Amino acid sequence: MRRRIGIDVGGTNTDAVLLEEDAVAATVKTPTTADVTTGITRALAALLEQAPGAREAHAVMIGTTHFTNAVVQRRDLGRVAAVRIGLPSGASLPPFVDWPEDLADLVRAEVVMLEGGHEFDGRPLVPFDTRGMRAAARRIRDAGIRSVAIAAVFSPLNASGEEEAAAILQEECPDVAVTLSHRLGRIGLLERENAALLNACLIELARTTTRAFTQALRASGIAAPLYLTQNDGTVMLAEVAEAYPVYSFASGPTNSMRGAAFLSKRDEALVIDVGGTTTDIGSLRHGFPREANNVVEIGGVRTLFRMPDLLSLGLGGGTIVSRAGVRSAPALTIGPASVGYRLTELGLVFGGDVLTVTDVAVAAGLIDLGDRARVASLPAALVKEALARIRAMIEEGVDRMKTDAGETPLIAVGGGSFLVPPRLAGVSEVLNVPHQAVANAVGAAIAQVSGEVDQIFQDLSRDEAIARARRAAEDKAVAAGADRATINVVEVEDLPLAYLPGNSLRTRVRVVGEIARQP
Amino acid sequence: MRPVAADEIESLAIGAWILGTGGGGSPYLALLNMRQLYRKGVVCRLMDAAELADDDLVAVVSNMGAPLVGQERLTDPKTMALAVTMMEEYLGRKFHAVMSLEIGGGNSIQPFMAAAMLDLPVVDGDCMGRAFPEAQMTSFAIHDLRMYPLTLADVRDNAVVVARAASWKWMERISRKACVEVGSIASTCKAPRTGKEIKECAILGSTTKAIGIGRAVQAARRAHRDPIDAVLEVAAGVKIFSGKIQDIARRTTEGFLRGTATIEGLDDFRGHTFSLAFQNEFAVGWLDGLPRVMTPDLICVLDTVSGDAIGTETLRYGQRVTVIALPAPPILLTPKGIEHVGPRAFGYDLDFRSVFA
């Protein structure tokens, strides 16, 4: 029997599920802990208690927002040396140029700009300044900097500059962690460099966190390989993923939407994921989240990551309801502040003294949680007003995410899905599915492994260029843990390039495959 | 003459991207350069063409090349300024001001980069009123002004002077060739213009217009109003279509990014289909198979929600877009103008009919 464990570490809850073949065999929801790992250990213990067969799982997938949160909240970030190879071009726009100042001040330890880089056709722009690189490597070593991001002009076409720089760093300061931009991003120097810098400032946190995850898994007696979920709904082996924390950005919402599609067996629908702190609304197309059109900002930093197109509302089970005004005419504010994972100590029904959206839902009888007697005295007018406000927030959000004016099915998932009214304007039906509260963990459990290539090919036929890109993408997928025999192409995009000579074709191919049993 | 505030450059970037009608390249990198320069205390000046003396000399500048290469090689004010000073050396005369070649896209901001380095004012205007792909598609060409000399500089200290060219098409061919050789990105200073030529033949006030459009979008976003309505209002435009991109076909021929986008109607346009042909910029749009809007009327595709302009290179399946038309500068609508930039100049056998006629 094929057994997979999916775990989702959210801001409020850590959820775990066991899938046996394609059936949900056990589910667990536990509070997220400040150190993350304890929550995972507890979730695994509870899962094993429900289903001892989980010990035989052949793969464990963890989705976490830990790294995104670190950037957004400016915590646990390492200091980074930025090495840009491309002078004399780009001199006026150095690394960190479009970062928010507070974040740049935290992360920027050293900026090095060197001659080198390539043309669009792979010719060198100017020779790479290896002597300058060696001097920089020594400065980096002497300054005690532990993480370096390297970005060279047109490195997705010719990575030799970045690789040579890495080799020099390896000789001069072998203990330094190195992020090469061509491994992370596509064409677009600043955005690719930003991705590399973000990755570099998270790399130490990623290493310790990933290793703690692995330890938690082993301590629970599970021998299966560990995978981390990526923002495109696929996974990477933990040993590989720990070097690429930026790939996990936004993996939480993606997992929820993939899980919603899997549980509801609907490939075309809107999904509303009500968590503890926020509600995300997205749109499923062919079972995958519709992606955002534009550049995506993470903590204020511009990147080109492919992210699901989501509308986030400050509404969740832990959202604080504040009251002003008199009893007969309550003036309510819903959020955006939330008690987050401390709901079970601070919420009224749990014995605390903060009025949350969950307390309102319990008072209205939408769900039975904690001690209902503790909300019996809430004025009925207040409860009614709060629910009306919540409905209005959801209806407006759904309307904004809809791709057409017709009525659309809406799949409700997440721990707070009880807040979604059964009938909504513009929605044909609200789908409540079994295990909806742990859809994100289900989405993690069903994730496949992907590989992607984005390159400019010249003087090749379109078919040849795509075939070449496809082979490279397949190799990447296998390196990340995919079973070669199961790989499928999911996206092919080719873009002939304006104003470039010859037959220049930018080709992007993405493939996915099932996880290899023996990685 | 007046100083230009930093937030006006931000507005300019938004408005110019809309006036780019799908081409012209994103103004983002040029905007970043301006932010850096303003941080160092630079303040650019904008002047009315009326303030120019007839024999003043104006540098008309632009960044030339493939937008994709620009995303890697970036863009910098020094190279831009170099093209201008090279021209001064070649002519043995100094410029009194700089002006943009095209207000649509990144070239709207390039003259500010040169102006900042050379301490020159920027003339409020350009010679396209939008973006176009080729050198002969300018108000100067329509007025039969001289097309040479031209200087072209790259970041490595390569520089070319095109001393003469037999026609605008030859100028385009020769300078394009040089541009490709240095990596498909270069700063250029076009044929120098006198104050009189600018006053008589340029498209005046387009910088202010772009700033105004950008400002309207920003204000609408702040007030949670529809930014597209704001653009239509401030630029006297017409909403043409609104829908979801259903299909994109692209190919390059003769250095153009050509293609067609098919948009399926939503809301008021449900049940209708719009197809939009582009050649770097949007050229012709058909509603249910019938020509609805065509160049030189400005055809702009905006993100239906944010009001951000969408370029021909970034059109993608599934995007929700609104197509609007903005009026073209009068010079482009003259018989000579239509010859240079009308539908037949782009290979469409259509008689020009303006949406605004």
CA distances from A304 to A191, A428, B32 (A): 6, 34, 17
B243 Cβ neighbours under 8 A, 6+ residues apart: B263, B264, B265, B266, B269, B272, B274, B320, B321
Q: Give the pLDDT confidence of B41-97 residue by residue, as tens digits.
A: 999 999 999 999 999 999 999 999 888 889 999 999 999 999 999 999 999 999 999
Secondary structure (3-state) at A506 = strand
Predicted pLDDT at A415 = 86
Asked which of A18-22, B168-172, B277-281, B316-320 is least confident by mean pLDDT, the reply is B316-320
Predicted pLDDT at A34 = 81
Report percent pLDDT > 90 for chain A. Answer: 60
Does residue B215 sit within a domain?
no
ipTM topping 0.90:
yes
A79 Cβ neighbours under 8 A, 6+ residues apart: A106, A107, A108, A109, A145, A146, A147, A201
Q: Are residues B190 and B318 in the same domain?
A: no
Q: Count other Cβ atoms within 10 Å, centred on residue A405.
A: 12
Structure tokens belonging to residue A445 = 């459990």
Inter-chain contact A294–B76, Cβ cutoff 8 Å? no
Residue B320 contacts A, CB cutoff 8 Å: yes
- Positive or negative, the CA dihedral A9, A13, A18, A21 is negative
As a whole number of Å, the end-to-end CA separation of chain A is: 18
Predicted pLDDT at A404 = 65
Angle, helices B77-91/B110-118, rounded to nearest 10 degrees? 70
Does residue B223 sit within a domain?
no
Interface of B with A in 259-288 (CB under 8 A): 266-267, 270, 280
- Residue A202: pLDDT band (50, 70, 90) is very high
Calpha distance A287→A268 (Å, rounded): 7
CB B47 within 8 A of CB B135: no
Q: Are residues B199 and B240 in the same domain?
A: no
Is there a cis peptide before residue A336, judged by omega within 30 degrees of 0?
A: yes
Say if strands B273-279 and B256-265 run parallel, antiparallel, or are unpaired. antiparallel
Calpha distance B345→B352 (Å, rounded): 11
Q: Are residues B242 and B154 in the same domain?
A: no
Secondary structure (3-state) at A409 = strand
As a whole number, mean pLDDT of residues A469-494 equals: 88
Q: What does A223-272 look like in DSSP terms, one character per residue?
A: -SPEEEE-TTSEEEEHHHHTT-GGGGTTHHHHHHHHHHHHHHT-SSEEEE
Does residue B298 sit within a domain?
yes
Calpha distance B40→B10 (Å, rounded): 17
Report percent pLDDT > 90 for chain B. Answer: 83
Best of A84, A87, A92 to substitute, by most chain B Cβ atoms within 10 angstroms, is: A92
- Residue A328: pLDDT band (50, 70, 90) is low
Q: Give the pLDDT confidence of B269-287 residue by residue, as tens digits.
A: 989 999 999 988 999 999 9
Number of domains in chain B: 2
Calpha distance A146→A178 (Å, rounded): 9
Q: Are residues B286 and B153 in the same domain?
A: no
Q: Give the residue from chain A lying closest to B30, CA to CA.
A: A93
Predicted pLDDT at A423 = 93
CATH code at position B72: 3.40.1610.10
Does residue B213 sit within a domain?
no
Q: Are residues B75 and B116 in the same domain?
A: yes
As a whole number, mean pLDDT of residues B150-168 equals: 95
Q: Are residues B54 and B176 in the same domain?
A: yes
Predicted pLDDT at A497 = 62
- Residue A502: pLDDT band (50, 70, 90) is low
Q: Are residues B174 and B31 in the same domain?
A: yes
Say if strands A504-513 and B125-126 run parallel, antiparallel, or are unpaired. unpaired
Is there a cis peptide before residue B296, judged by omega within 30 degrees of 0?
A: yes
- Residue B280 structural domain: 236-346
Asked which of A49-58, A132-141, A317-326, B132-141 is least confident by mean pLDDT, the reply is A317-326
Structure tokens belonging to residue B296 = 């030189």
Calpha distance B142→B127 (Å, rounded): 10
Predicted pLDDT at A325 = 60
CB B49 within 8 A of CB B124: yes
Helix, strand, coil fractions of chain B, as percent rounded to 5: 35, 25, 35
Does residue B222 sit within a domain?
no
As a whole number, mean pLDDT of residues B221-246 equals: 93
CA distances from A321 to A267, A372, A376 (A): 35, 17, 16
Predicted pLDDT at B186 = 95
**DSSP H/E element including A217:** helix A189-219
Amino acid at A56: E
Residue B309 has pLDDT above 90, yes or no: yes
CATH code at position B296: 2.40.390.10
Q: Are residues B69 and B171 in the same domain?
A: yes
Predicted pLDDT at B232 = 98
CB B38 within 8 A of CB B153: no
Does residue B218 sit within a domain?
no
Q: Are residues B297 and B243 in the same domain?
A: yes
Predicted pLDDT at A519 = 42
Asked which of A114-118, A451-455, B180-184 is least confident by mean pLDDT, the reply is A451-455
Calpha distance B296→B281 (Å, rounded): 11
Q: Which comes out higher in pLDDT, residue A467 or A251?
A: A467
Q: Count other Cβ atoms within 10 Å, centred on residue A336.
A: 14
Does residue B357 sit within a domain?
no
Q: Give the residue from chain A lying closest to B320, CA to CA.
A: A403
As a whole number, mean pLDDT of residues A7-36 equals: 90
Q: Are residues B246 and B297 in the same domain?
A: yes
Q: Give the pLDDT confidence of A215-246 residue by residue, as tens digits.
A: 999 999 999 999 999 887 888 889 888 999 99
- Residue A504: pLDDT band (50, 70, 90) is confident
Q: Are residues B30 and B146 in the same domain?
A: yes
As a whole number, mean pLDDT of residues B224-242 equals: 95
Residue B284: beta bridge partners? B277, B294
B29 contacts in chain A (CB < 8 Å): 93, 190
- Among residues B156, B186, B206, the one where a domain terminates is B206
Q: What is the average pLDDT value for chain A, to the nearest integer?
A: 89
Residue A145 has pLDDT above 80, yes or no: yes
Predicted pLDDT at B241 = 98
Predicted pLDDT at B256 = 66
Secondary structure (3-state) at A155 = coil
Structure tokens belonging to residue A69 = 């949160």
As a whole number, mean pLDDT of residues B181-201 equals: 96
Q: Give the pLDDT confidence of A359-402 residue by residue, as tens digits.
A: 999 999 999 999 999 999 999 999 999 999 999 999 988 877 77
B270 contacts in chain A (CB < 8 Å): 404-405
Q: Are residues B92 and B202 in the same domain?
A: yes
Does residue B214 sit within a domain?
no
Pick from B72, B244, B251: CB nearest A189: B72
CB A9 within 8 A of CB A40: yes
Q: Distance, in angstroms, between B261 CA and closest chain A CA? A: 14
Residue A497 contacts B, CB cutoff 8 Å: yes
